[in-house]
Amino acid sequence: MAIPTIQPCAHHSERRAFALCMTCRKSLCQECVTQWDGIYHCASCLAARRSSAAGTSGAAAWLLVIGATGVLLYLSARAMVWAGALLASLF
């Protein structure tokens, strides 16, 4: 296992890092990091998340996820029959 080195805060070089922002991977001190729902974020990434959550692109992302999931599940049902029939013909 690699020995962890103590890194300084990305915004305050005189302070030791307390956590990593899970979005931009910056090392941050206790003052610069915010834990939200168990995950560490820096102020700018948290702000970006808040503004993007309020944006209109969310609807498109939702449609994309729902559509893709629907297609995948349909294909899964077809693949289940296909793989089953293939295996049944082999044995």
The footprint of another protein (CB under 8 A) covers: 1, 4, 17-20, 22, 37-40, 49, 52-53, 58, 61-62, 64-66, 68-69, 72-73, 75-90
DSSP letter (8 states) at residue 27: E
| Residue 78 to residue 74: CA distance in whole angstroms | 6
Smaller CB distance to another protein: residue 14 or 38?
Answer: 38
At which residue do the structure tokens 């939200």 appear? 36
Least distance to another protein, CB of residue 31, Å: 15
For another protein, the closer of residues 47 and 75 by Cβ is 75
| Contact residues for 16 (Cβ-Cβ < 8 A; gap 6+) | 6, 7, 8, 9, 29
By beta-carbon proximity to another protein, the closer residue of 13 and 76 is 76
